[in-house]
Amino acid sequence: MPGFELFGENEKQSVQDVLDSGVLMRYGFGPMRNGHWKAREFEVALARRMQTPHAHVVSSGTAALSVALASAGVGAGDEVILPVFTFVASFEAVLAVGAVPVLCDIDDTLTLSPEAVEEAITPRTRALMVVHMCGSMADLDALGAICRRHDLLLIEDACQAIGGSYRDKPLGSLGDAGCFSFDFVKTVTCGEGGGIITHSGEIYAKAQAYSDHGHDHIGEDRGAESHPHLGYNYRISELHAAVGLAQLARLDAFIGIQERHYRTLWQGIESLPGITGRRVPEGGRQNYSFLNFFLTGPEKAREAQKALSEAGMDGVFYWYDNNWHYHRRWEHLKELRSLGPLPPETARRTREANEREFPLSDAWMGRCLSVLVKLGWSPEETRRRAEILKNVLGELAQ
């Protein structure tokens, strides 16, 4: 990733189709379109690729999460368990539907710990939001069993893991709803965009209406459509959908490139002392967008990131100190710095749920480095980076 590195003629032609029609909105204006309905085509292609009967594309990954939660019936009074390692959009989406985000420990998969989830469940818990961070998945067998045992929804945030799979099923397709981001730095990009997939006809029907002010999209006259429930505007444009449609057709090729680059990097360091790889659950196939590994401790991880940067290696992330992806720097959530006042009950319970430390997660994240795997590297550039990784980490291991 990101997919923009390999923009080509297919993306250009798809966008040109929209510009030639003059219709940038995904709904209506049928006679003007010259047969081009890019958002619809994108949805059909996404559902087919993800082996689900339903897909709906929206304006962002954050929108996808918000729409999925609302369409699954999550709202005020509900609690949603999510990991301490994710992008802030995960808890933003929970708050956006009026629910309470409950942070929970991760394990060596860098995703939700099933044991920690069991301890975090309360009578108010409505859903688990499983976040497949940095291209690989959670232990979906164990987490799925927990959901069935406690009658909880399973929402898959697969925004960073499109193209990965678990037991031969695409990530995002195993829960009640799965969500993708197609923002500018994702493996498949629209510039800005997101998608929801589901096996539930009810969730799909609600999602496609909720994301468009409540329109039911029945009939050919948009102004005469009914509004079965309240909604908001999370629509994607035809221009963004046109790019995403062309990019999605290349997903499997992209994953193949990422895997080759990933394996070249990993082969150089996997045998070094003090280096251990992130655990990928049995039956899982990551999308290879990041190489994730653990060093012996936080001091060594910080030292390694600094040394790699000085050696000319960009795209090396130490998430433990990151402002946007790890709980230690989420003061705006923990202190509820909202532009407007939140409902008192939501505010109180959010503070109570998250005013604690997460030493188990800190122990993993403090030792973790992630290396971004890019699509646009030449074979020579990939080998150069592999040599830097091997030499720098090998020297630190001595």
User: Which positions are catalytic?
Assistant: 186
Q: Where are the beta strands (DSSP E) in the chain?
A: 54-58, 79-83, 100-104, 125-131, 153-157, 165-166, 169-170, 177-181, 194-198, 276-277, 284-285, 290-294, 316-317, 368-372
Amino acid at 335: E
Running DSSP on this structure, what letter comes out for residue 224? G
Alpha-carbon span 292 to 305, nearest angstrom? 13
CA angle 66-3-329, nearest 5°?
50
Amino acid at 272: L
- Interior CA angle at 206 toward 203 and 210, to 5°? 135
For the record, the structure tokens of 221 come out as 């006259």
Cα 120 from Cα 111, distance rounded (Å): 15
The conformation of residue 58, written as its DSSP 8-state character, comes to: E
**Of 41, 37, 51, 27, nearest in space to 197 by CA:** 51
- The CA-atom distances, in angstroms, between 350 and each of 77, 112, 338 are 11, 19, 13
C-alpha separations of 338 from 1, 78, 96, 255 in Å: 33, 19, 11, 39
